[in-house]
């Protein structure tokens, strides 16, 4: 297959480029390098089945020749980035998604949208299932990312229903691993870089808020399975009695076109993660507590029932192994 990946020089995009090249596919990587880096794809340059195009996907998007799939991963993705670039974040979620979908439609290509657990906002239920509509403050500083992705999902489903585009939506939960930027403001990279430097590890609030971290190799495995799963696959789910009494249907059909959570359901507090990093790095650096950012989610844990049933997927790498690999990456990069 010939596959285009927007944001292909970013953290997740570059891992996808590597995985798909390794599977024998041809990859066209498109990135404006706003948050991506050529370092992430340097080892692929010159490969016969890899091409890099520096381009802003919010502009008219055209690629010569056939395409079998378009994977839209372009977007600032860390709180630090989308708080510094709010307009660009909204534009790539709206205009960028529109352009990428238009390209998929023109090429009769499958389309996969990288969405996020942030569509659930500061959730009032845990774990979060895909049919939960979320608790989002649309006008908060964090809302630019949440609403950009929620709009992107709506646009993707509209193209599927109205134009018949074969679409997929993956809701990505917190991910970590090699190729993260050292100072991107995410929890794991922050803790590791600070621990390696011997500076205090910054914990926001009292550290009781929870996160569920998935190692990048597991995430990429889930995403590639979602990309290639048959488009006519459905799940028939019986409703509970309450739903049965209030609806005329006795079952509802979920399809592969509906959003699917990909993440690790193993939930830890931020404080526990900081302490694990301290122990694995072997640092005596203390913890430093700072005020919790506005609308920072108190809980974050995916329900991966759909991923298990549709994709026969669940994460394999435990947190300690994943953190050890990530620490070694940063140790080589930062010291």
Digit-coded pLDDT (tens) for 71-95: 999 999 998 999 999 999 999 999 9
Scanning the structure block, which residue is given the tokens 């011997």? 198
pLDDT in the model for residue 240: 41
Taking CA 45 as the corner, what is the angle to CA 39 and CA 50, rounded to the nearest 5 degrees?
Answer: 120
pLDDT in the model for residue 9: 98
Q: Is 196 among the domain residues?
A: no
The answer to whether 111 and 73 have CB atoms below 8 angstroms apart is no
323: three-class secondary structure by DSSP: helix
Q: Is 21 among the domain residues?
A: yes
pLDDT in the model for residue 241: 36
Q: 8: Cβ–Cβ under 8 A, 6 or more apart, which residues? A: 14, 16, 17, 27, 28, 29, 30, 31, 36, 41, 52, 73
Residue 174 to residue 262: CA distance in whole angstroms: 9
Domain that holds residue 234: 2-176+214-264+303-317
Q: Is 238 among the domain residues?
A: yes
Q: Is 13 among the domain residues?
A: yes
Q: Is 235 among the domain residues?
A: yes
Residue 311 to residue 227: CA distance in whole angstroms: 10
pLDDT in the model for residue 333: 85
Q: Is 94 among the domain residues?
A: yes
0.85 surpassed by pTM: yes
Q: Is 331 among the domain residues?
A: no
Catalytic residues: 145
The answer to whether 29 and 17 have CB atoms below 8 angstroms apart is yes
CATH number of the structural domain spanning residue 104: 3.40.50.720
* Residue 335 binned pLDDT confidence (cut-offs 50, 70, 90): low
Distance, first Cα to last Cα, the chain: 40
Q: How many domains does the chain have?
A: 1
Q: Is 18 among the domain residues?
A: yes
């Amino acid at each position: 297959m010939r596959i285009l990946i927007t944001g292909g020089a970013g953290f997740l995009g570059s891992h996808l480029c590597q995985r798909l090249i390794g599977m024998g596919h041809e990859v066209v990587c498109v990135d404006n390098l706003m948050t991506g880096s050529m370092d992430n794809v340097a080892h692929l340059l010159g490969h016969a089945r890899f091409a890099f195009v520096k381009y802003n996907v919010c502009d008219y998007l055209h690629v010569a020749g056939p395409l079998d799939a378009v994977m839209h991963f372009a977007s600032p993705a860390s709180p630090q980035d989308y708080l510094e670039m709010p307009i660009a974040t909204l534009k790539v979620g709206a205009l960028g998604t529109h352009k990428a979908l238009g390209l998929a439609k023109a090429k009769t290509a499958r389309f996969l949208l990288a969405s996020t657990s942030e569509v659930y906002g500061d959730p009032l239920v845990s774990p979060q299932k895909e049919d939960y509509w979320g608790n989002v403050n649309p006008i908060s500083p964090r809302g630019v990312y949440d609403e950009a992705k929620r709009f992107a999902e709506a646009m993707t489903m509209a193209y599927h229903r109205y134009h018949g585009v074969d679409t997929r939506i993956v809701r990505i939960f917190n991910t970590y691993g090699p190729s993260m930027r050292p100072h991107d403001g995410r929890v794991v990279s922050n803790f590791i870089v600070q621990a390696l430097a011997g500076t205090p590890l910054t914990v926001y609030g009292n550290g009781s808020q929870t996160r569920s971290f998935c190692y990048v190799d597991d995430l990429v495995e889930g995403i590639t399975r979602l990309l290639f799963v048959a488009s006519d696959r459905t799940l028939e789910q019986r409703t509970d009695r309450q739903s049965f009494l209030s609806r005329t249907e006795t079952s509802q059909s979920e399809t592969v076109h509906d959003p699917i959570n990909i993440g690790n359901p193993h939930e830890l507090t931020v404080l526990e993660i900081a302490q694990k990093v301290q122990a694995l790095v072997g640092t005596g650096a203390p913890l430093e507590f700072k005020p919790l950012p506005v609308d920072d989610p108190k809980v974050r844990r995916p329900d991966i029932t759909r991923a298990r049933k549709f994709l026969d997927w669940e994460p394999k790498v435990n947190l300690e192994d994943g953190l050890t690999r990530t620490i070694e990456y940063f140790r080589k990069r930062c010291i």
